[in-house]
Structure 1
Amino acid sequence: MMAEASGLTSDTPAHTVDAFHRGRFWLVQPRTGHRAGMDAMMLAAAVSSGFSGRLADFGAGAGAAGLAVLSRCPEAQVVLVERSTEMAGFATTTLAHPGNAHLGNRASVLTADVTLSGRARTQAGLADNSFDFVIMNPPFNAAQDRATPDPLRRQAHVMDDGLFESWIRSAAAVAKPRGGLAVIARPEQLGDLLYALSGRFGDAEMLAVHPRPEAAAIRIVVRAALGARGKLSIRPPLMLHGQTGDGPSERTEMINNGLASLFGD
């Protein structure tokens, strides 16, 4: 259900209104179910600070990652692509928030299933060779993982078989030659992700995200270019917290608030 216009600037029992990038943009999102957070900010930060062009946010939810790109990149234009009509409604409401008036003319919402292929994908509004960059945060839980009773959370979090293949196939179709791609995923999904990239995207850079220096990675972010042939490179990791785990690291704070890019460009 889309938030009512009268509730755009305040919380209701159904939704919350949350500031991101220190109030440079606002998100209207469901109070329960899938909610945006650090993953979306890291994904947006994988886009170069100087990016100017048209970007598709696959699985956009309420629009956090796409709007975070707009907040950092004043010459960017973003299409928020979301399969769920309910979440697409939240994205539309997000764009109507008065705190996002300075971004609204650079963003739009497209309700479409990114797993479609060929003519069906084109007819859904995802034309070939139409984007300079694609970002995506695909569902990351395997179907056999503990299921959530919330349908929106399940749709956002539970991965279908072959999901990386279908999402990245679509990204390769809609991206322009040498167009960029950024994906955030769990470390155990790296093999499937690299397999789906093979033959499509190259010059890949990977960065691991750790909760603290001695802990195993909890996320990976991969960035690549369509049609490039360079090999995978591993970048220095992001530590969300210091050794003690008390409070976010300085770099985490900068990325979370749109003040730095994940890959340093």
Structure 2
Amino acid sequence: MNSPTRSEPAASLEGTPAVSRDAFQRGAFELLQPAGRGFRAGHDALLLASCVGLGATGRVLDMGAGNGAVAFAAAMRSPDLRIDLAERNGEIAALAEGALMLPANRGFAPRLRVLRLDCLAPRGTREAAGLLDGAYDLVLTNPPFHPAGQRGSPDALRDEARAIPDAAFLGRWLAVAAALLRHGGRLALIARPDNLGDLLAAAEGRLGALRVRAVHPSPEAPANRILLGAIRGSRQPLRLLPPLVLDAMLRAAVSDGLHHTGGILGD
């Protein structure tokens, strides 16, 4: 859905396959991504980062951070965010760590840290790795959300990033995300429309003030993504926000990091 503004080969990390170094948002930041394999960052990550209001403050977790696309784009939206990137895949976490050392990212790199762990590990394991319950003002997450059983790609790294391992996965994921938030902390998540039922069920008793925004690839097309916002401990009811249609101008604005200074979910 989105192409980086520049792509060029980068020397492979020791013992790992080759990677590319890709510039995003007109060169505002750069990512390291597997060359010719795996899941590559695009509009989903940039839409999710647009949920962060310009000038936002506090501690943020990018849960299931991959190579850092969401966290890096969010860091560009505010100089007052401290962001943890939690990623279980060691190869991909190493790319996020390597990207933090690139000259293009030096302006925000000191505010970010990578935590190598499985976010669904038991609480004690998470805490030993530095991921503490109740510690975050905002959790951003772009979890695997494609249906289980549709993992037909021979690219195992891509499948791991895209496909849910079982039908209960998203419920477990959302429960942990809620636990990691402080009381009154906010969640922003991107998923498919057919994930909404599972997400609403998992939010029951944990999260309130839910806001759902459908994302349409064109005015004529049905939504292919939803953005979900929520607040831990709130009793406010669900709201359906106006749909977001990714016409050419809006795609360009999202790609450039310019969309919705107050946050795409109205925060």
Judge same fold: TM > 0.5, yes or no.
yes
Q: How does 1:204-223 map to 2 (within 5 A)?
A: 204-223=210-229
Q: CA deviation at 1:264?
A: 4.7
Match for residue 106 of structure 2?
Answer: 101
- Cα separation, 2, equivalents of 1:205 and 1:111: 30
Preserved contact between residue 81 and residue 111 of structure 1 (Cα < 8 Å): yes
Candidates 11, 14, 21, aligned match of 2:9: 11
RMSD: 1.5
**Per-residue displacement from partner, 1:4-52 (whole Å, max 9, x unpaired)?**
xxxxx94148211111121111111112211100000001111222310
Q: How does 1:35-46 map to 2 (within 5 A)?
A: 35-46=40-51
Q: List alignment gaps of at least 5 residues for structure 2.
A: 1-6, 11-16
Candidates 70, 73, 79, aligned match of 1:74: 79
Match for residue 115 of structure 1?
Answer: 120
- Cα separation, 1, equivalents of 2:78 and 2:202: 28
**What secondary structure sits across from 2:9 in the alignment?**
coil
Match for residue 195 of structure 1?
Answer: 201
Preserved contact between residue 116 and residue 170 of structure 1 (Cα < 8 Å): no
Preserved contact between residue 151 and residue 163 of structure 2 (Cα < 8 Å): no
**What secondary structure sits across from 2:137 in the alignment?**
strand
- Cα separation, 2, equivalents of 1:172 and 1:140: 18
Instruction: Pick which of 157-166 and 199-208 moved more.
Output: 157-166
Paired amino acid for 1:57: D
Paired amino acid for 2:136: F
- Cα separation, 2, equivalents of 1:208 and 1:173: 25
- Cα separation, 2, equivalents of 1:49 and 1:191: 30
Preserved contact between residue 112 and residue 125 of structure 1 (Cα < 8 Å): no
Match for residue 232 of structure 2?
Answer: 226
Identity percentage over the alignment? Answer: 42
Q: CA deviation at 1:251?
A: 2.6
Q: List alignment gaps of at least 5 residues for structure 1.
A: 1-8, 242-247
Number of matched pairs: 250
Match for residue 148 of structure 1?
Answer: 153
- Tell me, yes or no, if structure 1 residue 28 matches structure 2 residue 32: yes
- Cα separation, 1, equivalents of 2:187 and 2:226: 14
- Cα separation, 2, equivalents of 1:180 and 1:101: 27
Match for residue 14 of structure 2?
Answer: none
- Cα separation, 1, equivalents of 2:240 and 2:55: 22
- Tell me, yes or no, if structure 1 residue 59 matches structure 2 residue 64: yes
